Structure 1
Amino acid sequence: MGEQARWTRARLGRCGPPLDLLTASFRRHVYAPHAHDEYTIGVCVGGSEIIDYRGGHIRTGPGTIVVLEPGEMHTGGPGNPTDGYAYRALYAEPSLLADGTLGGPPHFREPLIDDPALARALRTAHTRLSTCPDPLEAESVLPWVLTALARRHSTARPLADRVPGAAAIARTVRDRLAGELTDPPSLALLATDLGLSRYQLLRAFRTTMGIPPYAWLAQHRVTKARVLLEAGLRPAEVAALVGFADQAHLTRWFRRVLGVTPAAYRNSVQDSPGPGGRHSAA
């Protein structure tokens, strides 16, 4: 484990606010005392870190979540002389955690949280967005996970889960996303248009569709991509036409949905006899 740190900036929706993500692995590094304007939310992925916070010491271990509140001074360093420490962190504006709760920014009495399922969700979201920070994916995933963190582990009272008219809301969001395939609107904008919070929109969509908005849009894009591939277009062309950031992004989702790469699919349908295939009758 060496001294490595990499920052990535995601954006929450089209023209939305930035959110910074840190991937860090240290053997000896000790942070100077400092504070952040945002919530610092980290997941330990290796070793152990000692964090000085609120006049005491926090010791992390693999799988633990740490929440440090805005403006609160803290420092951190290796938990022992040999193992070092590695973690994934994101820096979230207070409004991101307050969207599904009542009473303003949530307060976390205990900064160290043991919640394996939530730690996995945070780590998965962090990894995906650090690799390819798609704005709609960030907005579909991070507010949902951060709201879950606040609702489960802070003193804030949760909003009611039921969203009246959820099915109609989901259909409206679905149609807007499908109609603006290559440049989808932000969920925050859609929520404002519908008189909802973003969390309410996400809950209505997930309840009705079973998946978050970005996953639905990605699958819809795959459906559109199939038609273009069958017409003979190359995967790189298709990716841009259906709104994926690049061919790699198209390939990732195409394999998730259909189990093959776009190139393999194009070759198979072009080579197959019958309607649309290369050997079909003129």
Structure 2
Amino acid sequence: MSEERARYWRHPALPEVDLLRARFITHRFGRHVHESYNFSVIEQGVEEFEHRGTLLRAGPGSIVVVNPDTVHTGQAVHPEGWVYRGMYPSADLVAEVAAELGMPPGTPYFPETVLDDPEAARLLSAAHRAGEHGDALAASSLLRSALAGMLRRHADRAPPGDLAAAVPPAVHAAREILHARLVDPPSLEELAAAVGMRPFPLLRAFRAATGLPPHAYLNQIRVREARRLLDGGDPLAAVAAQAGFADQSHLTRHFKRSLGVPPGAYRRARAAAWARPVHYRT
């Protein structure tokens, strides 16, 4: 059985797109979110994941689509694991391509989570390979072609009502407090008092609005801050402390559960301005 492998990086020709190439066997993604879209082409095996309260599966040739800030998980169904190429374009980039196609303004929304679209899968995979091997023109051209096809065939003009609904003011205020206090977060009781609610009603409202309870949401924004600091070249120990993690092992555990790679490997891959061709064994 092949070993687990994962590489998470960004190609200079695709400045608004993160790339992940991975084979996972025992690794399980915890409940997490991305600020970007997630378009993953399954190459081998079957991935199982929870998405908006539903357990879904995606097999070879399928495209898994997760909209920004949507809670999801991920794990292998079979002992041999699954192999996939993940692309994480920013919401701004996808909206830009949508505008170029003449679609209405706003953040495009993909209602279907597992797609059977061979042409889109081919283009996404080709763009990913070009980004893996340093072909700037091909990577950027193929990506925009892939996004255009995905938007034309699969995107809604507007998010459904439940996603478009405004976040309750108390939840918005609670999120702002957590963003401001990564290192010294309040207790649930203190957080509730600060936004004028009782603890349990706030817990329910927060989970309903974000898909996560406050402590799990806090760890997600800590991971985002850790990514920002790692991209800036800060040492791991300093990153852990500044992002509010207890230590490096605490950072590593949550970082890998969200991104699939430990922070050290993430930083090494991102630090290479132009990744050299990688021989990926499966």
TM-score (norm 2): 0.51
Give the secondary structure class of the aligned counterpart of 2:41.
strand
Give the secondary structure class of the aligned counterpart of 2:40.
strand
2: CA distance, partners of 1:18 / 1:38: 9
2:41/2:61 contact within 8 Å kept: yes
1:12-40: CA deviation from partner (whole Å, max 9, x where unpaired)? 47xxx342110000111101111000001
1: CA distance, partners of 2:17 / 2:110: 21
1:11/1:138 contact within 8 Å kept: no
In percent, how many aligned pairs have the same letter?
A: 36
1: CA distance, partners of 2:12 / 2:53: 34
1:157-211: CA deviation from partner (whole Å, max 9, x where unpaired)? 9xxxxxxxxxxxxxxxxxxxxxxxxxxxxxxxxxxxxxxxxxxxxxxxxxxxxxx
The equivalent residue for 1:127 is: 129
After TM superposition, the structure 1 stretch with the greater mean CA deviation from structure 2, 117-126 or 93-102, is 93-102
2: CA distance, partners of 1:41 / 1:54: 17
Please state how far the C-alpha of 1:133 moved relative to its aligned partner. Answer: 4.7
2: CA distance, partners of 1:104 / 1:128: 29
The equivalent residue for 2:151 is: 150
The equivalent residue for 1:51 is: 49
The equivalent residue for 1:65 is: 63
1: CA distance, partners of 2:61 / 2:130: 18
2: CA distance, partners of 1:112 / 1:18: 23
Please state how far the C-alpha of 1:11 moved relative to its aligned partner. Answer: 2.7
Q: How does 1:87-166 map to 2 (within 5 A)?
A: 87-98=84-95, 99=97, 100=101, 101-134=103-136, 136-156=137-157
The equivalent residue for 1:41 is: 39
2:130/2:139 contact within 8 Å kept: no
2: CA distance, partners of 1:71 / 1:133: 30
2:39/2:63 contact within 8 Å kept: yes
2:123/2:142 contact within 8 Å kept: no
> Cα gap change, 1:12/1:102 in structure 2, threshold over 3 Å: closer, same or farther?
farther
> Cα gap change, 1:38/1:10 in structure 2, threshold over 3 Å: closer, same or farther?
same
1:96/1:143 contact within 8 Å kept: no
Question: Which residues of structure 2 form unaligned runs of 5+?
Answer: 159-273, 278-282
Q: How does 1:198-213 map to 2 (within 5 A)?
A: none
1:53/1:75 contact within 8 Å kept: yes
Please tell me the residue identity of whatever aligns with 2:42.
C
> Cα gap change, 1:18/1:154 in structure 2, threshold over 3 Å: closer, same or farther?
closer
> Cα gap change, 1:73/1:133 in structure 2, threshold over 3 Å: closer, same or farther?
farther
2: CA distance, partners of 1:12 / 1:93: 14
1:47/1:86 contact within 8 Å kept: yes
2:40/2:86 contact within 8 Å kept: yes
Please tell me the residue identity of whatever aligns with 1:4.
R
Q: Report the structure number with the largest CA radius of gyration.
A: 1
Please tell me the residue identity of whatever aligns with 1:138.
A
Please tell me the residue identity of whatever aligns with 1:97.
V
CA RMSD of aligned residues (A): 2.0
1: CA distance, partners of 2:94 / 2:157: 10
Question: Which residues of structure 1 form unaligned runs of 5+?
Answer: 158-244, 249-282
Please tell me the residue identity of whatever aligns with 1:60.
A
Give the secondary structure class of the aligned counterpart of 2:29.
coil
**Structure 2 residue corresponding to 1:77, chosen from 67, 75, 78:** 75
> Cα gap change, 1:141/1:12 in structure 2, threshold over 3 Å: closer, same or farther?
same
Give the secondary structure class of the aligned counterpart of 2:38.
strand
1: CA distance, partners of 2:93 / 2:6: 24
1:39/1:67 contact within 8 Å kept: yes
1:56-103: CA deviation from partner (whole Å, max 9, x where unpaired)? 0110100000110110111100113x2211110011011322222323
1: CA distance, partners of 2:60 / 2:148: 22
The equivalent residue for 2:26 is: 28
1:122/1:145 contact within 8 Å kept: yes
The equivalent residue for 1:271 is: none
